Chains A and B, each alone.
Chain A
């Protein structure tokens, strides 16, 4: 009997790393959109700078992925997520299980946009909500945690959280991903865990800025703890549970991303602090930094709801309104300190 086959959609650095993790327990079909890229990977067996296991097959046929695999991991940037789901949906059945690894948000905007339009929660979708909206699949989960692709590729020890309201999805995720070097935890708060992954990118950009300005670990400690408080407030407002933010996908991922020079969002922040404009910084990257888009969405939402997330607000000014990173930091430092913890 042939070995079970698991699908991965997206050959970016995280998609490739997850494919390699999965290949330890099962055969993997990796979907790559671009035909040129497929050919390159096929000959070199290298994807996004990582060697890929021999039992990973490449395809650019979504129907094949859906036909051969019951469990599929979509891991692509949030900007293309809905389009991809629309292409994949005709081939999906109610028995499929989808576990995504995308840490971004999707917006559903009215067309045409009314002049007095205000963004509210009903317009914002997490990726699992996009999957539910666009396909018949109900057994949906997400994968989040301190999983820097470059370290996973080196086989360093790490862990992830599989979140889903369905225990069977969590168990599938565990069964498929778990190995000697990779630990898998479960969480039923799908929305909360998704939001952890999404919101931590904001703080990661801020962390890059702090490092880029040449500040050290005191500043970082300050940022991470205040950043977590802000994540929790926003996360709660968007429908997550506090407890998820204190877990692996929350604080765990935040610490990893905020201290790692290999993180994309961190890198953007670092470049900004070096005096580059956002456009210059983005042009120098080869992969999407989700945080840039997330800051814009959260800022609009906060404005519409009349709340003021300090860090996000300041970052928005740096990213989109030409505030100097140093001025942003000064502003935050002058802001009267509040009660340390008031959400527990």
Chain B
């Protein structure tokens, strides 16, 4: 490997919390797990009652939940589901039937309250993470050690090199950006880390980054499907995950989930959301974020203010993170799904392509043995309204004036009020700000730029074809003469540097110098381990592709920068 730019950090970080693991809020949370579940339950019951002020509407909500849950148990059972699910649902149903023949209003209300409480408590206990510090330490060392072994085995030759210590993860994963600020803010307040999501590897990668930076463990919502696999469940739980079941879309469940997240943030647990919700199918940077969990950050901030917690300790900081790959292992299936969805196939089923331990280990092994570098860009911290904060956690407006985040939650500058519609709107605004920051911190790799150039050139040349026909372009037409390619590439490169100078995007250090070299570096790296390469140089030295779908996928990474008009 060539030497890398000086902005790549390779150093060892001290633990942010000096008292060690015992001081972590997440440890406290799991110590008082039962109590916390109770708290979450009470809070959720309160919310749902507020959302269903009439008795009839509450009954309706419970009935809907019951109906959907029965359907789930019947049609889509998972190994991780508790065996008594059906029984439990039946008992709820029986009591609902009783209610319908009862005339005593008070009794009805009591029964309803009980039912609500039971369902929610069940949900809350399922969601709740089970962080154990001994397990955490072990899992962490296994991950770090294991990865390092794989890495050394693949990079240095020979079997014995598996014990070599020449390479550590930091040779492979470059962390850039506002690392020091993140570490300082983690001491001052509560961090909500919001990374882009391209690959299944992201959660593991982010977990490693958090630990490598000396930060206390973050809690994060992981798909319940991952807990189907015992060994995975073990690691996830140890690393602070709580469970999110995407099958359950009923109000009761969603509110419980939100209460869990909100209360954990209020207690100072650093959290991690993948705000895109799921991996980006198209390969584009997320444009629309899921607002549900994001809203809990804003809510927790407001509650802290309402409780009069005004010091930095109770401020919530949003830290966008962008993960940049040359190579996304799942790219072929992701882009296929994207094209399917876009092609009006509305009823596609989310398939769980990494559902066995074998597939996952294969995935990991492939990833770590096939050396393709990754960069992680840490963005500047924001307050919950999207204003930049300094290392002390103070918010500033665009002209650099210090502002008090609390004032967004008042009408007169004094009384903090709860206005759900206001907070919903703030959530949308925050989501827009995060997307904006993603674009700024996204690190453009040479591989992204060559893919973008080539696909845009095809698109321009065959502008009469729609996307689907373009993707079926005959092989003979999938060739761009090198000189032409280079010309357009240079134009785009100039524009990218211009954007970089304006602070609109971040670029890889490989993106400077001789354009031919940059192009070669890009070609060598773009989707490097796919069986069919998205972009190659053919025998005549011209640019060609083996898989247009993949080319589209890697090209998409640079959509949204208005670069198209420079082609």
Contacts and interface: CB of A to CB of B under 8 A. Distances in A.
Interface in B362-416: 385, 387, 397-399, 401, 403-405, 407-408, 410-413
A97 B411 contact: yes
A89 B407 contact: no
A136 B405 CA distance: 10
A19 B122 CA distance: 57
B408 A168 contact: no
A93 B413 contact: yes
Contacts of B413: 70, 93, 95
Q: How large is the interface on A (under 10, 10 to 19, 20 to 34, 35 or more residues)?
A: 10 to 19
Interface stretch (B96-104, B129-137, B325-333, B418-426): B418-426
Residue among A95, A165, A167 with max Cβ neighbours from chain B (10 Å) = A95
A165 B397 CA distance: 21
Interface in B96-122: none
A115 interface: no
A89 B399 contact: yes
B425 A94 contact: no
A166 interface: yes
B411 A168 contact: yes
Contacts of B412: 70, 95
Contacts of A94: 385, 403-405, 407-408
Nearest to B428: A165
Contacts of A97: 411
A90 interface: yes
Interface string B412-444: 110000010110011001000000000000000
Contacts, number: 47
A167 B421 contact: yes
A166 B408 contact: no
A136 B411 contact: no
B156 to A, nearest CB: 51
Interface in B342-359: none
A95 B408 CA distance: 5
Contact of B385 (A133, A135, A138, A167): A138
Nearest to A93: B407
B405 A168 contact: no
A120 to B, nearest CB: 10
A95 B411 contact: yes
Interface in B468-487: none
Contacts of A136: 387, 397, 401, 403
Contacts of A165: 425
Contacts of B398: 133
B65 to A, nearest CB: 28
B420 to A, nearest CB: 9
Contacts of B410: 95
Contacts of A135: 397
Given A70-B411, A168-B411, A93 B421 contact: no
A172 B387 CA distance: 25
B565 to A, nearest CB: 10
A240 B387 CA distance: 27
Given A70-B411, A94-B405, 9 more contacts: A94-B404, A95-B407, A136-B401, A136-B403, A138-B426, A138-B429, A168-B419, A168-B422, A172-B411
Interface of B: 385, 387, 397-399, 401, 403-405, 407-408, 410-413, 419, 421-422, 425-426, 429
Top-8 shortest CB links A-B: A94-B407, A94-B408, A95-B407, A136-B397, A95-B413, A167-B421, A95-B410, A165-B425
